[in-house]
Structure 1
Amino acid sequence: MKGCELNLIKTVLFVFNLVFALSGLGLIIAGAVVLSDIGEFGHFLEGRILAPPVVLIVAGVIVFLVATLGCYGVIRESYYMLMAFALCLLVIFIVEFAVGIAAATYKNEFRSALRDVMMTSLNNYEKSKADKVAWDNIQSRLECCGVEGPNDWGDRRPASCCFAPRDNAPTPNQDQCRKAQPNDEYLYSYGCIYELENKAESGSKVLIGVGIGIAFIEIVGIILACWMASVVKNKE
Structure 2
Amino acid sequence: MYRPKLYLILSHIFYAATSVSLMILCAVNEYRLATNYHWIENIFNVPNSIMVAYALMTIIPAIAVLTGIYYECYCQLVALCCSTVFLLVFELLIGISGFALKSGYVSSVLKALSSAENSYTGDNSARAIWDSVQSNFGCCGFNNYTEWYRYLSHTNLPDSCCIRYTPGCGSTAFNTGNFYETTCAVAISQWATIAEVVMGLFFWFIIFLKITCLYWFHVYLERLMTSGTHDLGGLPDINSNRI
TM-score category of the 2 structures, normalised to the smaller one:
0.7 to 0.9
Distance 2:107 2:159 in 1: 25
Whether the aligned pair in 2 keeps the contact of 1:163 and 1:171 (CA below 8 Å) is: yes
2:197 matches 1:198? no
Name the residue aligned to 2:101.
106
**Matches of 2:13 and 2:182, distance apart in 1:** 43
Does structure 1 retain, via aligned residues, the 8 Å contact 2:12–2:62? yes
Which position in structure 2 is the counterpart of 1:115? 110
Pair 1:133–1:48, CA change in 2 (3 A): closer
The Cα of 1:32 is off from its aligned counterpart by: 5.4
Residues of 1 paired with 2:100 and 2:163: CA distance?
A: 42
Cα pair 2:163 2:178 within 8 Å, conserved: yes
**Deviation of residue 79 (structure 1)?**
3.0
1:184-217 per-position Cα deviation (integer Å, ceiling 9, x unaligned): 6123322112222233333333322222112111
| 2:210 alignment counterpart | 218
Identity %: 15
For residues 173-192 of structure 1, the C-alpha deviation after alignment (integer angstroms, 9 at most, x for no partner) is 3xx56xx48xx612332211
1:82 is aligned to: 77
Q: Conserved in 1, the CA contact under 8 Å of 2:8 and 2:217?
A: no
- Answering whether residue 15 of structure 2 is matched by residue 20 of structure 1, we say no
CA distance in 2, matches of 1:202, 1:191: 17
2:181 is aligned to: 189
- Indicate conservation of the 8 Å contact 2:139/2:180, yes or no: yes
Match of 1:209?
201
CA-atom RMSD, angstroms? 3.7
Paired amino acid for 1:87: C
Larger RCO: Structure 1 or Structure 2 (Cα < 8 Å, ≥ 6 residues apart)?
Answer: 1
- The alpha carbon displacement at 1:74 in A equals 2.7
Q: TM (normalized to structure 2)?
A: 0.70
Q: For the structure 1 residues 85 and 42, does the alpha-carbon distance in structure 2 shift closer, same or farther, using more than 3 Å as the test?
A: farther
Q: Which runs of 5+ in 1 are unaligned?
A: 1-6
* Structure 2 segments unaligned to the other structure (5+ residues): 229-237, 239-243
**What are the superposed Cα offsets for residues 150-184 of structure 1, whole Å, 9 maximum, x if unpaired?**
1333421443254377x9997243xx56xx48xx6
> What is the TM-score of this pair, normalised by structure 1?
0.72
Contact kept, 8 Å, 1:20 with 1:217, in 2: the verdict is no
Equivalent residue of 1:97, what SS? helix
Which residue does 2:61 correspond to in 1? 66
Q: Secondary structure at the match of 1:94?
A: helix
